[in-house]
Structure 1
Amino acid sequence: MKDVKSPEFVYDYWNYQPDKLVETIRLYSQKCDDPFENTLASILKK
């Protein structure tokens, strides 16, 4: 990530766009073999 944002910015961004957060986690879990990430994505899909 080139442009690092402050934690407050990131929190506000996801807070106002929760659907984008779910989508980001879903996309990330498809690229990642980490079972925790896949579990998190499956919980959010429900």
Structure 2
Amino acid sequence: MKNSKKKKASLPVYLDEFERERLEKIASDWGTSLSTTIKRLIREREINY
């Protein structure tokens, strides 16, 4: 039987230098990776929307 876990879709995100620096600063403050930081910000935005 194949693994039944659903594969998570990836979505390329293109950032300019300024955006990347800001996100890297947030990631550093939170102690998370850049990709985890982006996912967290999206989730928090969806909740507050």
Give the structure-2-normalised TM-score: 0.36
Higher relative contact order (CA 8 A, sep 6+): 1
Structure 1 or 2, whichever has the larger Rg, is 2
More helix by share: 1
Give the structure-1-normalised TM-score: 0.38
